[in-house]
Structure formats: C-alpha cells, structure tokens
Amino acid sequence: MGSVRLPGKVMLDLRGKTVLARVVERIRWSRFAGEIVVATTVEPADDVIVDECRRLRVRVFRGGGDDVLDRYYHAAKQFGAGAIIRICSDCPLIDPEIVDQTAQAFLSVQPDYASNALNRTYPRGLDIEIMTWNALARCWREAQEFYQRSHVTPYIYENPDRFDILRVTGQVDHSDHRWTLDTPEDLAFIRAVYARMNDPDRFSWRNVLELLEREPDLMELNQHIQQKALQAG
C-alpha cells in the first residue's frame, strides 16, 4: 500500500476486482505454480491486503517493509518452499503461459535462478523470476546493498560467478511494451486493456498484443514513463 508513485495500487479497482485479485487469479491458471503466498508488510496500512487475501483464500506472510529480501526469505522458510516463483503484485497482466514456460525451462536446466527479465523480450510487467531455496538463502546471507535487499534478487544476477543463471527469452522481441503498474498513466493503460476484453477474467498476453495492434494509440498512455533505476531502491 505504500507505493510512492501510485499509493495503494494493489487495492485499486480493475473492472470489478482489485489489482491483487487479478494477479492472484491469473497465477492460479499456471500448471506449475504451487502454493501462492502474498508477502506483505507488518505496517497497519497493509491490513487491507491481509483482509483481501482472506477473501481470496490465499496464504499471506507479513514481514519488514524495506528489506523485501528478508521478507521473501522468511516467507519461503515458513512455507517450506523448495523453489520460489517470484511475481510482483504490480503485474495484473501476468500470464500463466509465460509463467509455465519459464518454469519448464527452470526444471529442464535446473539452474540456481531463472528469469525472463534479464535479456528482456517480453513486455515489462510479465516479469518472472524463479530461484531455488538455496539460492535465496545464500542471497539473504550475503547481499549487503540496500537496493539488493529492497529488490530481492539483484545480488544473484549481479554475481554470475556465484550462481548458475538461466536467461529465458521469447521468440519475438516485445520489450518496448510497458504493462506494469507503477504510475497513474500505467493504471489508465491497464484499465483500458481490461475494459476492452470480452472476458476480463480470462484473457492472454497474446490477446493484449492483438488489441494493441488494433489500437496502437493505447500505448501512448504510458509509453513515456521511465522505470525507476534499480539503485533507487
């Protein structure tokens, strides 16, 4: 709830459901995602997230605010995770097909860490990271910089000599698309997408690409937004 550029963004409405609900429901389509755990903070402002998780019948873990790596580590430890699929709650267009493709690659190669966002070919907002418990635990022990702990995984992919890293890419480069939710402009874009879907509860990222081919002007709603620098925290 403490987002700086778009306060309370995970509880905003997306065609009748919260952003958080949309993310959770889309992840539930995945064949590989196991137990879903929402990792939020102990701040009173995030009580509403806990209430929403109860309504969605999804597990929740509460930890510190700024040290998100610590929160992830203790959430994974509490729920006995063997591998962790990390999906951010500001990605209400996350697609189970891409989750499963990344998971299949992870299971096939068996690296310490896999991501489709290192060599970006998918739209920003379809980011998936998967890591082993051992990789997460080592990252938690060794990461020292503030941004490494607030963004959870930079220590892993900044140290390819210490971790076996798999870069997952698509066949076509769609990296010029911005589908994440971080600003009011992003919200306008994502709401426009949901408003145009015949079935807002079940559409794919390919449907969004088809929509943008028909209505390319929609991309102008948020294409000018600059992503915050990693080191900005």
Q: What is the pLDDT of residues 52-107, one digit of tens each?
A: 999 999 999 999 888 999 999 999 999 999 999 999 999 999 999 999 999 999 99
How far is 110 from 83, CA to CA, in rounded Å? 11
How much is the pTM? 0.94
Give the CA distances from residue 133 to residues 27, 75, 136, 143, 183, in Å, rounded to whole numbers and listed in that order: 20, 11, 5, 15, 32
Q: Residue 233: what pLDDT?
A: 52
Q: 129, exposed or middle or buried, with CB in 10 Å at 0-12, 13-18, 19+?
A: buried
